[in-house]
Structure 1
Amino acid sequence: MTETHGDQALATRLRATLGKRHPVFAAAIVTAGSTRLACAGADLSADFEIGSISKGVTGLLYAEALARGEITPATTLGDLLPLNGIPAARITLAALSTHHSGMPRLLPTGDLLRRSIALWRHGANPYGETRAQLLADLHRARPKKPRFRYSNLGYQLLGHALSATTTYPALLQQRLSDPLGLSWYVPATPAELRPSALPGRSASGRPREPWTGEAVAPAGGIRATIADMATLMSALLNGSAPGIAALDPVTEVAGPSVRIGAAWLTTARRGREITWHNGGTGGFRSWLGLDRAAGRGVVLLSATASSVDRPGMDLLLSGY
């Protein structure tokens, strides 16, 4: 039987729900009066790739920069980054923050197909570029008509624009990690992984390389422990998190039932408004959801690339 740590009842419930597909997972349930943590297949100090929940973190940094008066919604990429008048320079940070910039999902580089094949055949990291390399190749991107189009590239650019005078890890440390007491980190190379870093596996159980890289950091490069995620949820629920306005929806995604703030989605479920984001990398899946009215949050992390969205939402709505 898989070793479990923390809240044994929570671990047992989730082990039954997730089954053999997720042998290594961690979960947290946060309310105003308690925090419950559980981990299976690793101890509570293990860190996971949180994937695109990193976009939600970058959304907090965006909203915090707005609150500080450092930027406005109309600030463009060209105002902050050396883009030499290429089409992407005219895109506003506000459009990037809600995935309405018209930017493609990924930067169309010449070796995009090769990277995709290497990922699916060999589990290779499809990212790894530096910020300088990302910006040097940005002329390849041709923004389309602004509408909702989920874009990893857009959030990479948003994060690097916000940290144009420093680095994304440094901005993350200053604005969120230090104020909230978080130990999460953003490895640029595999050599920067901590001993606590878990290996990830595909849905079929095949090993996957860690997704590291300076360029991808704002869109999917953060690694965190379950305690880090619980601390973040607590701050989001009590309103003390820097950039908390990122959670407030400002436009629709797919009609009035799904709205978006700065990365964070708000969806109606069983008569309740759930604010959430999920994440996925080559070897990990994650889901974080908040019932802000009830003061309750759930996060679920797995070291297997198989969705945990439904189990996460069910756990949040169950009131368990």
Structure 2
Amino acid sequence: MSSLLPSTERTLLARVARAQRDGRCPSLVAGVVRDGALAWSVGRGAVEEPHADVQYRLGSISKTVCAITVLRLRDEGLLDLDDPLEKHVPGTPLGDRTLTQLLSHTAGATSESPGSWWERTPGGGLDDLGLAGEHRVLPGGRRFHYSNLGFGLLGELVARVRGRAWEDVARDEVLLPLGMRRTTPRPEGRAAQGYAVHPWSDEVLAEPEHHAGVMAAAGQLWSTAEDLARLGAFLLGDPGDVLSPATVEEMTIPAGVDFSGPTWSSYGLGVQVQRHEDRTLVGHGGSMPGFLAGLWADREEGTAALALANVTSGLDGALPARLLTDLRAAEPTVVEAWSPAPSPVPAELLGPWYWGPSPYVLRAVPGGLLHLGGLGRPGRSSRFRPREDGTWVGLDGYFAGETLRLDPVSLSLATFVFTRTPYDPAAPVPGGVDARGWFMP
């Protein structure tokens, strides 16, 4: 049942109706997620009766599920993201590329698997691909290059580590724990037929459906709006017992930047990260013959939006982002009231500090974190979370991953020393401080 105002429903319906008509979609289901659940959904179409429990093929949104299975193995200590592929899947020409590079599309792997068009023909096992040196098209880590093959290899990795098919691991460790019971490798129950629409007429052509074999992790899954909303809630910070919130946040940190489009876009670990208007959205788009899909989450606003259509091309890929814009304008999120909280460090450590003559400020921020940033002028800034040994580790910005050490006289951070006054002679300033102190030349 919708929890939106009737006026908001009307605005969203108008947006979806226009997208279905202009995109010539045989059917289209769209919805928004708020407060951890599908708050509103609608179906439009004349060819079929779409609704929130009809399955559509997700295409590359399957990559997000694949990444979750890989990160579960990492969190269990069964692998490291710096591991080369060869350690877990030996014998490929991409063996020296790391798991991080594969997850972020920076491994330099060819965009598609060799052989027939994998999206339209049944697939076999890894040996059937016939991988060769030519499928290394760029140096590892050099640039973003979207690779379906890379995620096929990641699915194979999960299968070998777990000793079971990737889709079985995904079902038991991700989909069912998240309550996504209508998300399956092949269509089950009520499912939409995929269509191509003729470019010069309004006739349709049925598209084929098959199992992609070793490439399944790149685009195999089918799902419903209800289930996809649950994945949206996952991206918004409700991962259940599948991953820790910290690992979900790790997924959303950009690694590879896609500079081919007109707007800012990047890729984390199995999720796309894009700038839409003044918001940063995380999620994924998907396409397979006969289907287009999209799921985008605004983690700051706590909302997500999705779209599922049974058409090969035509749907506005920005529809979910535009729905989020409409929702934010009509019913902006009311944030929690501020309330006092204890400082995670003694108060005397907070306030102004100086890196050389440049002023910075250390402050406590929600979540038991610290933030160090420029004071009154631009400067490098990062958030830090505590470690058990009393040090702090950078979460983002210039000092991500770096260790911050606090004492009343100085802050030590990645060889930088911050002092209470500019070049405080009582602090261990590298190179020392001129004995004359500050003077007029």
TM-score range, shorter chain: 0.7 to 0.9
Aligned to 2:103: 97
Aligned twin of 1:254: 258
SS at match of 1:96: helix
Larger radius of gyration: 2
Aligned pairs for 1:97-116 within 5 A: 97-109=103-115, 112=116, 115=117
Question: Kindly, what percent of the aligned residue pairs are identical?
Answer: 21
Q: Is the CA contact (8 Å cut-off) linking 1:74 and 1:94 kept in structure 2?
A: yes
Deviation at 1:39, TM superposition (A): 2.3
Q: CA deviation at 1:51?
A: 0.5
Would the aligned equivalents of 2:274 and 2:281 in 1 still touch at CA under 8 Å? yes
Asked if structure 2 preserves the Cα contact closer than 8 Å seen for 1:156 and 1:219, the reply is yes
Q: Is the 8 A contact 1:286 1:308 kept in 2?
A: no
Matching residue's letter, 2:20: L
Aligned residue runs from structure 1 range 1-320, under 5 A: 9=10, 10-11=12-13, 13-19=15-21, 21-32=24-35, 35-40=39-44, 41-83=49-91, 86-109=92-115, 112=116, 115=117, 126-134=120-128, 137-139=130-132, 141-143=134-136, 144-146=138-140, 147-164=143-160, 165-183=163-181, 184-187=183-186, 193-204=187-198, 205-240=204-239, 242-243=242-243, 244-245=248-249, 247-254=251-258, 257-306=264-313, 307-319=315-327
Q: How far, CA to CA, are the matches of 1:141 and 1:177 in structure 2?
A: 35
8 Å Cα contact 1:285/1:308 also seen in 2: no
Structure 1 position 18, deviation (Å) = 2.3
- 1:169 alignment partner AA: E
| Code of the aligned partner of 1:24 | S
Unaligned runs of 5+ in 2: 199-203, 331-441
Q: CA deviation at 1:220?
A: 0.3
Aligned AA for 1:97? L
For 2:100 and 2:223, how far apart are their aligned partners in 1?
A: 27
Identify which of structures 1 and 2 has the higher relative contact order when contacts are C-alpha pairs closer than 8 Å and 6+ apart. 1
Change (3 A) 1:195 1:289: same
Shift of 1:133: 4.2
Whole-Å separation in 1 of the counterparts to 2:102 and 2:192: 31
- Post-superposition Cα deviations, 1:280-299, rounded to whole Å, max 9, x if no partner, equal 11100011111000000001
In structure 2, what residue type is equivalent to 1:207? A
| CA apart distance, 1:156 | 0.7
User: Which structure dedicates a bigger proportion of its chain to helix?
Assistant: 1
Q: Equivalent residue of 1:181, what SS?
A: coil
Cα distance change of structure 1 residues 12 and 149 upon mapping to structure 2, 3 Å threshold: same
Cα deviation digits, residues 53-111 of structure 1 (max 9, x gap):
1112212222222222221012222222242xx422222211100001111011233xx
* TM-score computed with the length of structure 2 as normaliser: 0.62
Aligned partner of residue 176 in structure 1, secondary structure: helix
TM-score w.r.t. the length of structure 1 is 0.83
Choose between structure 1 and 2: higher strand proportion.
2
Indicate if the aligned counterparts of 1:60 and 1:245 stay in contact, CA closer than 8 A.
no
2:88 & 2:323 partners in 1: Cα distance? 41
